[in-house]
Amino acid sequence: MISLAGRDILHSWSKFVFTGIGLGLLIGVTLSMAGIYRGMVDDAKALLNNSGADLWVVQQDTLGPYAESSSIRDDVYRSMLGLSGVARAANVTYLTMQVRKGESDVRAMVVGFEPGQPGQPEYLVAGRQITRNHYEAVADVKTGFQIGDVIRIRRHDFTVVGLTRRMVSSGGDPMVFVPLKDAQEAQFLKDNDAILNERARTAANPSLNRPGVPGLLEAIQASQTSNRNVNAVLVQVVPGTSPEAVANEIKRWKHLQAYTRTQMEEILVAKLIATSAKQIAMFLVILAIVSAAIVAFIIYTMTLSKIREIAVLKLIGTRNRTIAGMILQQALGLGLIGFLVGKTAATFWAPIFPKYVLLEPGDAIRGFIAVMLICAIASTLAIRAALRVDPATAIGG
Amino acid sequence: MNGLGIHIEGVRKRYGEGDTAVDALKDVNMTVAPGEVVGLIGPSGSGKTTLLKCLGAVIEPSAGRMTLGSEIIYDDGWKIPDLRALRRDRIGFVFQAPYLIPFLDVTDNVALPSMLAGRSNKDSRKRAMELLEALDVAHRAKAQPSQLSGGEQQRVAIARALINQPPVILADEPTAPLDSERALSVIRILNQMAQQYQTAIIVVTHDEKIIPTFERIYHIRDGKTFEENGEGKKP
Ligand SMILES: Nc1ncnc2c1ncn2[C@@H]1O[C@H](COP(=O)(O)OP(=O)(O)OP(=O)(O)O)[C@@H](O)[C@H]1O
Ligand SMILES: [Mg+2]
């Protein structure tokens, strides 16, 4: 027996190819959506891996530092170092802001860290780590900066000495690493007018500007402009120690929140990315319905245009099963063309996306199965129409 | 030998029920011997198509008895169970329009009923080629149906009707779209095939050009058949 479906596809191949391409672009979008979600999860994991921490210590009752703002005093890390099981502890700050790149602005997450301590980017793709305590920066390649470029953050210029790859915030903004002190300053640094204003106001306050107390006003003004807060303390535990035990210790005694790596992953993936994931899931559902509608419509109209041939096929003794199989195979053929086009398109355009798109083979396989199921379901409408055709109509009137 | 040809006795067909019922066939009696081609002629609405549909096993008569080849296919309410296989193996259909399958080439259009009956593609195509040669369209074997002339398409349709060597061929106005030369050539082919394969053939027609070619003609009027001897001028 010859393949009726195959012959029909060859006969009207242009219809199949063009519909297949249209469907394929939809499938490509679907695969990319899944890829964007996978990319977000992967970015989050890369972010956690590269910070080199076992514990994130943040303000009590917050989900900081990535999912919620957290502020703690910058001397907290010292008390961490005193705990048993803690190998290293260091302050970090995170602030998403516009940084100046030549004539334009780049949105970036500025990370303040102490060179050589947890929080320092682990892998550089070019250049070196920061060695000076001021005005050097390591930037992610996504910022567009190159080694030797100058980044302007607030009122200070930083020279780029190293480059990282795939260091992005959970919002997708590339990171710029600067020394902690500079970052703290940038976070709370006010512009000149604001400082002059504040100084004048302090000076005008008689309780702060007392005659006969030399140096008081200056001390107050200095404390107002300097910043003694950080967003989190990153802790590395002594090898062999359980991070959970140390985290419990910190929570019990220090009135702080401490998250282990698994908890942090949970926060990033389940809480922060959850909304995006739902959004993407919503899109996937809509795209699946649209694809099903397209396949159903095309296969249905193609079947209706063949009613006479189907009646003849039935009259000369073709089984219903053979006719249903022909329509089903055509729908699956359309799905196959669509999937191949979609997979190719998604692979081709993934690198052009501003966010990282991770196309997992597992998603491709799941996508393929879904496409085939959708096509099979979509063909039922046409199959029912074909099975209702009365062979007597071939004999006519 | 292909059995007994076609034998129809007292066949009746009523469409619908009650007040709106139509008695399309009231008393139909026909016999067509193997190797014979008979004409079936009647005015519009007389029941010709209804009779072909009953014989073609796509609708069921209301009463009577029908024998195709060596098999009783209908007997007063009883019918053979597998009508689909009956149509495939025992009846060839030729229509006014050829109704070829547009996505199969000429050879496969002819070979299809044989493949459906479970014979191999190779054997089916070999047999199709023989028929196409006999019908003088073998040179178009690889063409698509849309590339053929009307007469060529009709000959391909006849080849398709013949491939399973059915004891019966039912032809509904097979010459309507053809000029008189081609119409006569189709009748010549049907006669030849009837002889060669001992097939019983019924040709429903209005076509004045071909009526004189039949040796026997059945007239159907108001659902009843009358037999008449034709002129039998073999084309
Ligand atoms: N499905 C049906 N339901 C009810 N009545 C029908 C049906 N099919 C045919 N008839 C009626 O049965 C009668 C015979 O119809 P039939 O189609 O057999 O005529 P015909 O001889 O083929 O006519 P024509 O030469 O116009 O094709 C007509 O009165 C027709 O209206
Ligand atoms: Mg009719």
What are the sequence ranges of the domains in chain A? Answer: 2-44+275-396
β-strands A104-113, A175-179 pairing? parallel
Residues 6+ apart with CB under 8 A from A104: none
Judged by DSSP in three states, B140 sits in helix
Question: Which residues have CB under 8 Å from A13's CB, separation 6+?
Answer: none
Set of chain B residues whose Cβ sits within 8 Å of the Cβ of A321: none
* CB–CB contact B95 A396 (8 Å): yes
Segment A331-365, tens digit of pLDDT = 999 999 999 999 999 999 999 988 888 999 999 99
Pick the CATH number of B34-57+79-229 from 3.40.630.10, 3.80.10.10, 3.40.50.300, 1.10.10.10: 3.40.50.300
pLDDT digits (tens, 9 = 90+) for B95-147: 888 889 999 999 999 999 999 999 999 999 999 999 999 888 999 999 999 99
Q: What's the whole-model pTM score? A: 0.79
Residues of A in contact with B115 (CB under 8 A): 1-2
Please name the member of A7, A312, A396 whose beta carbon is closest to the beta carbon of B103: A7
* Letter string b/e over residues B56-84, b meaning 16 or more CB atoms within 10 A of that residue's CB: bbbbebbebbbbbbeeebbeeeebeeebb
- Contact yes or no for B188/B37 (Cβ under 8 A): no
Q: What are residue A360's phi and psi, to 5 degrees? A: -90, 140
Residue B159 CA to residue B140 CA, distance in Å, equals 13
pLDDT, chain B, mean: 90
Q: What angle do CA B154, B157, B160 make, to 5 degrees?
A: 155
Under a CB-based contact definition with an 8 Å cutoff, are residues A86 and A238 in contact? Answer: yes
**pLDDT tens by residue, B138-188:** 999 999 999 999 889 989 999 999 899 899 999 988 888 778 888 888 898
What's the average model confidence in pLDDT over A197-212?
77
Contact between chains at A316 and B113 (C-beta distance less than 8 A): yes
pLDDT of residue B2: 46
- Nearest-CA distance from A394 to chain B in Å? 8
Q: Is the CB of B31 under 6 A from ligand 1?
A: no
Asked if B72 has any chain A CB less than 8 Å from its own CB, the reply is no
Reported ipTM: the value is 0.89
